[in-house]
Amino acid sequence: MSHPDDRRGRRKGYYARQVEAEAERQGLTVEEYGVYKGDVGSAVKPINSASGLLFLSILITLIMTVVGVLMVKLFVDGTEEVNWGQIVFGIVFGLWIIPTSWYLYFKERKASRLRYRNGKTFEPPTRRNSPRD
C-alpha cells in the first residue's frame, strides 16, 4: 500500500510539480517561490513579479468593470435584444478571472516578502531549450 503523500503527489498538476521542483532547485520553499515563473505553454514571456501581477490584476478588474457597466447599460436601455449566453459567460468569466488574478498577486507578494525577509534571492527558471549549469 502506498503512502498517502505519494498518492497526493501523483495527483498534482504539471505546474504544481514544476513549482515544487524549481523551488527545491533554488533552495526555496514552495511558499517562498510563489507563482509559477516558467514560460512553458505561453507564447510570450510571462509577467509574474509582484508588480507585474498587480498591474495585470488592476487591468483585469478595470476591463471587467467596464464590461459590467456595459451589461447594465444593455439592460437599462432595452433597445437591443439580450444574448443570454454572452451575458452568462461574461458574468461567470468575471467571477472567475478577477479573484484569480488578485489571488495570484497576493501569493506572489507574500513570496517576495518571505524571500526578502529570509535574505534569499530568486533566479528565474531557464528555458527548456537553454543549457543548464
Alpha carbons 21 and 39: distance in angstroms, whole number: 15
Q: 59: domain range?
A: 15-118
Q: pLDDT at residue 1 above 50?
A: no
Residue 52 lies in a domain: yes
Is residue 123 classed as helix, strand or coil in its secondary structure? Answer: coil
**Of the ranges 8-12, 89-93, 122-126, the best mean pLDDT one:** 89-93
Alpha carbons 74 and 82: distance in angstroms, whole number: 8
Residue 125 lies in a domain: no
Residue 40 lies in a domain: yes
Residue 128 lies in a domain: no
Measure Cα distances from 30 to 25, 104, 128 in Å.
11, 14, 21
pLDDT in the model for residue 36? 80
Residue 102 lies in a domain: yes
Mean pLDDT of 103-120: 90
Residue 50 lies in a domain: yes
Measure Cα distances from 124 to 11, 34, 46, 127 in Å.
26, 12, 11, 9
The C-alpha cell that represents 111 in the structure block:
513570496
Alpha carbons 36 and 30: distance in angstroms, whole number: 10
pLDDT in the model for residue 129? 45
pLDDT in the model for residue 69? 93
Q: For residue range 71-96, what is the model confidence (pLDDT) as tens digits?
A: 899 888 887 888 889 899 999 999 99
pLDDT in the model for residue 37? 78
Q: Count of domains in the chain?
A: 1
Residue 124 lies in a domain: no
Q: pLDDT at residue 111 above 50?
A: yes
C-beta separation of 97 from 64 below 8 A: yes
Residue 5 lies in a domain: no
